[in-house]
A and B are shown apart, each in its own frame.
Chain A
Amino acid sequence: MSLDLHKIAGQIADMAAGLGERRAERDAHLSLALDTLSTAQSDVIEEKRALSRTTFLVAGLRGSLTGRHPSPALPPAYAALAVDGSHIDVDRHLAARCYLINLGTVHIRYGEQPVAELGSEPRLFTDEQDMYLRDPGSGRTQALEGSLLGALRAVEELRTLAALAEQSPDNTPTLALIDGSLILWSLAGQAYQDFVRRALIDDMFLPVMDRLRELARSRPLALAAYVSLPRSADVVNALRLDNRRCPYEAANCDMHCGSLALGQRPCDAIAGVMDRDIFGELLGGGERSDVFATTSSIVERYYGEHEVHFYYLNSGEEIARVEIPAWVADSTELLSLTHAGLIDQCRKGHGYPVAISEAHEQAVVTGGDREEFRVMVEAALGTQRLPVYTSLKDRSKRVKWL
């Protein structure tokens, strides 16, 4: 029996009605956030942030909260590199333990001699050392699957991007792009032991970032991660620290407001507003905000010199969040390249960077592909006269019976 849509229709209508009722409250919060933004002093907030202990992520303020920058001139010739990935996760119902990562690559050169190269590289991981991260000290292991495999894929995307950049032979300004965030969010929190973070960040992620930064020392290469429809509120959370929203000299959310119900804290007057809401009001088409710093614990503790910065960009179609490493944020030339390049990429891609879009198209693994992959694995096992077993649960899903 499939989903009973008749039964869910009423619940959907209730949800829409609830959202409609909360719309006025959300508008009031946005209006207050914009009012706070117009008078907030970033240096005062930044000083307060350093003294505060908040339960929410607050942007580090390097410049003005209301800074607006028009798109700089695009170099007459530039290259856009992009890598995006898809994966087939470990499936415990499959007869063989393995996972697949498919990376789509794009290299487009614009200018007098425009040319493009598109490709994809699927790779199957089956070896024991590929299936687990191992702590050399204690011998403890962590299976590479689920969100951890997502983090590994993100690192592999960057590694491939670095290889693409190394193969680019000349000094053409080059914008190296990935989809999503530079922050390996799945490693934040207490979900994994420290050796997992060391393996993925220290041993894999940071060396790739080092390679990219090293390349950028000898050629104009800018790395940027593009987040479409961002749900982040780091800047709005900085406004929560404004003295008009938070009456305490140094905020300590748990101590001052821990006993208050959700929505009752003074700063909740601007709750629910996202950064894209305020920058949607602030930024004109093609403009970017000032650069902010993420204060994510995973970045502050583990990223070292590759601290992640970000800005918001009005691509002409939406407010996007652009994440860049510190060595891009600190270079006027590279920062401008990300800004002008992304505006051009979005113009060519109907609102989304065309190089990332095409990398995604190269990487995508469809539902049909997944089923075909499964059939190929089982056929290969059968050829080797290996047992092709599966769980009864999986069999019951695939074989419909009465």
Chain B
Amino acid sequence: MALGGDARVGEVVESSSTGFVSQSYRLYGAPHLGALVRTGGPCPAYGVVHEVATRGIDPSRRPTARGEGEASEEDVYRSNPQLEHLLRTDFRAVIVGHASEGGTLYHLPPSPPPIYAFVHVCVADELSAFSASTDCLRLLAGSGIAALEEVVAAFLRHAVAAQPDPQAFLAGAGRQLAALIPGDFRTVESILLRAAP
């Protein structure tokens, strides 16, 4: 599969075999929950965004309320332009596969993405190609991340929009989830209901 265009949104700042944390280049510029992202590096990893957090860059400085005299939230940032440099948005992704010379593999890469690897959002063709196989759900469904159902549903919403036959895609995803979460029909149904376009 050809890797997608340069929708670069950040860089890896924490990395492990099963997931990575990226710092967004822009404050509040992280990909949405459930978005598919791909890292650079020798073994480009695919990840699904499962947590987005914005906080002060310096952990010893807690943000304090600034907007009492401002008309809107935008005005708070307009009146305090330095905030763009003092806050940062990070996003955490669980690894759901990786790219190899032979194509996309839906298992963990041999080595985690390096720190400072660029992180791109996968859109259109790349997202469509990655999610063409329902194997893409295997690592995600078994990841044990918080709010798992919400993240799987969000990922499916992104993926279904990139698929030529959304109904067939959802039906296949449902069968795969039923196999991955055996005996929990209600959970699978709940995910599919939230994933439907």
- List residues of chain A with CB under 8 Å of any chain B CB: 106, 108-110, 114-118, 347-348, 350, 354, 358, 361
Q: Does A116 contact B64, Cβ atoms closer than 8 Å?
A: no
Q: Does A358 contact B82, Cβ atoms closer than 8 Å?
A: yes
CB distance from A121 to the nearest CB of B (A): 16
Q: Does B81 contact A348, Cβ atoms closer than 8 Å?
A: no
Give the distance in Å from the alpha carbon of A115 to the alpha carbon of B78 in the complex. Answer: 8
CB distance from A106 to the nearest CB of B (A): 7
Across the interface, which residues of B come within 8 angstroms of A117, CB to CB? 85
CB distance from B121 to the nearest CB of A (A): 26
Q: Does A348 contact B79, Cβ atoms closer than 8 Å?
A: yes
CB distance from A305 to the nearest CB of B (A): 34
Give the distance in Å from the alpha carbon of A118 to the alpha carbon of B83 in the complex. Answer: 10
Pick from A108, A109, A348, A361: contact of B58, CB under 8 Å: A361
Q: Does B85 contact A114, Cβ atoms closer than 8 Å?
A: no
A-B contact count (CB 8 A): 30
Give the distance in Å from the alpha carbon of A118 to the alpha carbon of B61 in the complex. Answer: 16
Interface CB pairs A-B, < 8 A, 9: A108-B81, A114-B81, A117-B85, A118-B82, A347-B69, A348-B79, A348-B80, A354-B80, A358-B82
Across the interface, which residues of A come within 8 angstroms of B81, CB to CB? 108-110, 114-116
* 5 tightest A-B CB contacts, nearest first: A114-B81, A116-B82, A116-B81, A118-B85, A114-B78
Across the interface, which residues of A come within 8 angstroms of B85, CB to CB? 116-118
Give the distance in Å from the alpha carbon of A117 to the alpha carbon of B79 in the complex. Answer: 14
CB distance from A169 to the nearest CB of B (A): 17
Give the bracket for the number of chain B residues in contact with chain A: 10 to 19
Across the interface, which residues of A come within 8 angstroms of B79, CB to CB? 110, 114, 348
Extra inter-chain contacts (14) besides given A114-B77, A118-B86, CB under 8 Å: A106-B82, A108-B81, A108-B82, A114-B79, A115-B81, A116-B81, A116-B82, A116-B84, A118-B82, A118-B85, A348-B79, A354-B80, A358-B86, A361-B61
Q: Whose C-beta in chain B lies nearest to the C-beta of A350?
A: B64
Across the interface, which residues of A come within 8 angstroms of B66, CB to CB? 348
Q: Whose C-beta in chain B lies nearest to the C-beta of A349?
A: B80
Q: Whose C-beta in chain A lies nearest to the C-beta of B69?
A: A347
Give the distance in Å from the alpha carbon of A116 to the alpha carbon of B86 in the complex. Answer: 10
CB distance from B177 to the nearest CB of A (A): 47
Across the interface, which residues of A come within 8 angstroms of B64, CB to CB? 350
Give the distance in Å from the alpha carbon of A134 to the alpha carbon of B55 in the complex. Answer: 50
Give the distance in Å from the alpha carbon of A354 to the alpha carbon of B84 in the complex. Answer: 14
Give the distance in Å from the alpha carbon of A115 to the alpha carbon of B82 in the complex. Answer: 7
Q: Whose C-beta in chain B lies nearest to the C-beta of A357?
A: B82
CB distance from A316 to the nearest CB of B (A): 12
Quick one: CB contact mask for B6-43 with A, threshold 8 Å, 1 for yes? Answer: 00000000000000000000000000000000000000
Could you tell me which residues of chain B, from 66 to 90, have a CB within 8 Å of some CB in chain A?
Answer: 66, 69, 77-82, 84-86
Give the distance in Å from the alpha carbon of A116 to the alpha carbon of B69 in the complex. Answer: 21
Give the distance in Å from the alpha carbon of A350 to the alpha carbon of B66 in the complex. Answer: 9
Across the interface, which residues of A come within 8 angstroms of B82, CB to CB? 106, 108, 116, 118, 354, 358
Quick one: CB contact mask for B85-110 with A, threshold 8 Å, 1 for yes? Answer: 11000000000000000000000000
Across the interface, which residues of B come within 8 angstroms of A115, CB to CB? 81
Across the interface, which residues of A come within 8 angstroms of B61, CB to CB? 361
Across the interface, which residues of B come within 8 angstroms of A106, CB to CB? 82
Across the interface, which residues of A come within 8 angstroms of B58, CB to CB? 361
Give the distance in Å from the alpha carbon of A354 to the alpha carbon of B58 in the complex. Answer: 16
Give the distance in Å from the alpha carbon of A110 to the alpha carbon of B81 in the complex. Answer: 8
